[in-house]
Amino acid sequence: MKDCLLILLTVLGGLGTFLLGMKHLSEGLQAVSGRGLRKFISLATTNRFAGIATGMISTFVVQSSSIITVMVVGFVSSGMLNLAQAINVIIGSNIGTTATAWIIAYVPDVRLLALGIVATGALCYFFVRREFWHHFGLTLLGLGFVFMGLYWIKEGVEPIKSNAAILDVFKSLDAKSFAGLLKCTAVSLVFTALVQSSAATTAIAMTLAAQGVITFEAAAATVFGMNIGTTITA
């Protein structure tokens, strides 16, 4: 019981740190990019490929497809974009949001990288008075918290491999059958809708798959649910 509680607290604490980091990262990047981001999204009116590219780059910069989607909804309401142009941007946004998965997959030492980024971000945020560097520091702090959250999620998941009771729960998430696929998708959909971050779901699914707790098929199935669940914001 004590081991299960420790695993739960470690994973949830890591998830909380990850979500806080995503919030600060997104807010910092929005503040740094400012009006330039809105002006950049308006380039989507040029043609279809420009719209997709705009969505990809904007989401890569802000690290949140939800924020870009909400901005696009606002642009359609104000008449700056029509529905077809908005759809192109959202398609690009869903491609751009995969950058988080690539970052998670190829970061060499998450803990050292997180500490280094947080230290640099804290210097900029607390000791430099210029507004740009203040927001840039907030961005770095957010990125550092993201990596720190990933580290704690990984640490929390590690003992699951030796805990038969918890392992049996995750083994029930089997996507080899159609019913299993629907189950994995539904769990991912609800979780993403609740935490309002497809990146968090991606991080947990990738960590569980890397540790061998869930199969590749089950992890892939969570991507379907994740991409449906993240539309709740719009």
Over the stretch 77-113, which tens digit does the pLDDT of each residue have? 777 778 888 888 888 888 887 877 777 777 767 788 8
| Helix ranges, 158-196 (H) | 164-171, 178-195
pLDDT of 220 reads: 85
Query: Measuring CA to CA, which residue among 86, 16, 93 is closest to residue 60?
Result: 93
Give 123 or 7, the one with higher predicted confidence.
Answer: 123
| Helix ranges, 48-172 (H) | 48-62, 65-78, 83-96, 99-106, 110-127, 131-157, 164-171
Domain that holds residue 68: 2-232
Residue 56 phi, psi dihedral angles, 5° rounding: -60, -50
Mean pLDDT to the nearest integer, 48-63? 81
Give the pLDDT band (50/70/90) at residue 35. low
pLDDT of 161 reads: 65
Q: Which residues contact 162 (CB under 8 A, 6 or more apart)?
A: none
Total domains in the chain come to: 1
pLDDT of 169 reads: 67
Q: Which residues contact 71 (CB under 8 A, 6 or more apart)?
A: 37, 38, 41
pLDDT in tens, 188-229: 888 888 777 777 788 888 888 887 888 888 888 888 888 888
Model confidence at 172: pLDDT above 80: no
Q: Which residue has the tokens 């904007």?
A: 58
- Tell me the residue type at 160: I
Give the pLDDT band (50/70/90) at residue 2. low
Give 136 or 36, the one with higher predicted confidence.
Answer: 136
Q: Is 83 exposed, middle or buried (0-12, 13-18, 19+ CB in 10 A)?
A: exposed
Query: Measuring CA to CA, which residue among 84, 55, 65, 83 is closest to residue 22?
Result: 65
Q: Which residues contact 79 (CB under 8 A, 6 or more apart)?
A: none
Using only C-alpha atoms, the chain has a radius of gyration, in whole angstroms, of 19
Please give the share of the chain, as a percent, with pLDDT higher than 70.
Answer: 84
Q: Which residues contact 134 (CB under 8 A, 6 or more apart)?
A: 124, 125, 128
Instruction: Round the average pLDDT of the chain to a whole number and report it.
Output: 79
Give the pLDDT band (50/70/90) at residue 164. low
Q: Which residue has the tokens 């642009």?
A: 75
pLDDT of 33 reads: 64
Distance CA(143)–CA(156), nearest Å, equals 20
Give the pLDDT band (50/70/90) at residue 45. low
pLDDT of 139 reads: 83
Please state which of the ranges 85-94, 119-128, 151-160 shows the lowest mean pLDDT.
Answer: 151-160
